[in-house]
A = this chain, B = another copy of it.
Amino acid sequence: MDSIDRNILVALQHDGASGLAELAKVAGLSVSATAERVKRLEERGTIRGWRADLDPAAVGCPLLAWVFVTLRPGASDAKFRDGLAPFEHVLECHAVSGPWSYMLKLRVAGLPELEAFVAGELRRKAGVERTETVLALSTVKETAILPVAPPDDEEA
Contact = CB atoms under 8 A, between A and B. Distances in A.
Contacts of A85: 141
A134 B46 contact: no
B50 A137 contact: no
A90 B141 contact: yes
Nearest to A137: B95
B44 A58 contact: yes
Number of copies: 2
Interface in A116-156: 132, 134-151
A93 B137 contact: no
A61 interface: yes
Given A48-B55, A50-B51, A58-B44, A149 B109 contact: yes
Interface in A1-18: 6, 9, 12-17
Given A52-B50, A102-B140, A60 B149 contact: yes
Contacts of A103: 66, 134, 136
Contacts of A137: 94-97
